[in-house]
Amino acid sequence: MDVTMVGLRVLREVAERGTFTAAAQALGYTQSAVSRQVAALEQATGVRLFDRYPGGVRLTSAGLALLRHAVTALDALDAADRELHGTDVDTGSVRLGYIPAAGAVLVAHALAVLRGQRPGVKVATREGTTPSLVRALRAGRLDLAVLSSRPPHRSPDTDKPALHVEPLLEDALAVAVSSTGRFADRTGLTTEDLLDETWIATPTAADEPLLGVWPGLPGRPRIHHTARDWLTKLHLVAAGAGITTVPTTLASAIPPGIRLLGIDDLPEERRRISVVRLPGPITEPVRTLVQALHHHAAEIAG
């Protein structure tokens, strides 16, 4: 089988990004160059590596098998480069992805613990949505990912081998409202209260939902403001520009001028935060970071 390292890098990038266009942008290639590399790989291997569908591509079972070997080969090449240049040989590294809601209250503390226990370890982090982080795990770009799920908490994807999932904590959703607005004296909300409210939401893609409007809220919500950054969303709430949905674990990081309220006539919305990785042995730096995440999650829950 005659494949090139460039082809394997393209395979990994397309698998992670989900589209040829996004992979081309990340690599600095044209889309046609990416398409040619994928076509060359499929010709060299004699199998179809991607299924095409509206909006993107997805690895076939053969593509997943090749990706696993590609990740091993590319990681070995990167390790050789580091050793030849005398970097990262004795310190180790961890690549961590996390959903936005986990950054301020969970990830930051765990990284502080890791620095205290293993100061030589280099950590690279990436914020993203659950689907994008799962793709990065499969592509070998991340060692760990802190993800969220909703009941019944199925596996983050259906690919093989199954991802290793360790629950960290259970969380509930609440509505963030201005402490000086019309809900200032309320202890709870109803769906009727929310019918004419202005919502602050996060821009979403079809397969990458993010928090904003309360899940399953009847009717068509009025979304007047969109922002990916949690701090921006919360300051908009404090300024009276609208309301938004937040996980209650963010309570300690919420700026002044905001109250968190539940919705009394709708079922409670709960989420589970988990640390996820590929199955198999892990390095000591990765193990230490996982332990730090569990320790701080227990402190939050307790």
- The answer to whether domain 172-269 has CATH 3.40.190.10 is yes
pLDDT tens-place string over residues 17-70:
888 988 888 888 888 888 988 998 888 899 999 998 888 888 898 888 898 888
pLDDT on residue 109: 87
pLDDT on residue 90: 44
**HEC-encoded secondary structure of the chain:** CCCCHHHHHHHHHHHHHCCHHHHHHHHCCCHHHHHHHHHHHHHHHCCCCEEEECCEEEECHHHHHHHHHHHHHHHHHHHHHHHHCCCCCCCCEEEEEECHHHHHHHHHHHHHHHHHHCCCCEEEEEECCHHHHHHHHHCCCCCEEEEEECCCCCCCCCCCCCCEEEEEEEEEEEEEEECCCCCCCCCCECHHHHCCCEEEECCCECCECCCCCCCCCCCCCEEEEECCCHHHHHHHHHCCCCEEEEEHHHHHHCCCCEEEECECCCCCCEEEEEEEECCCCCCHHHHHHHHHHHHHHHHHHC
pLDDT < 70: residue spans in the chain:
79, 81-91, 204-210, 302
pTM over 0.95: no
Other CB atoms within a 10 A radius of the CB of residue 222 amount to 13
pLDDT on residue 16: 84
Superfamily of domain 93-169+271-301: Periplasmic binding protein-like II (3.40.190.10)
pLDDT on residue 28: 83
Same fold flag, 5-84 and 172-269 = no
Pick the CATH number of 5-84 from 1.50.40.10, 3.30.420.40, 1.10.10.10, 3.40.1050.10: 1.10.10.10
pLDDT on residue 83: 65
Token pair 């093989």 is found at 160
Domain ranges of the chain: 5-84, 93-169+271-301, 172-269
pLDDT tens-place string over residues 60-87:
988 888 988 888 888 777 767 666 655 5
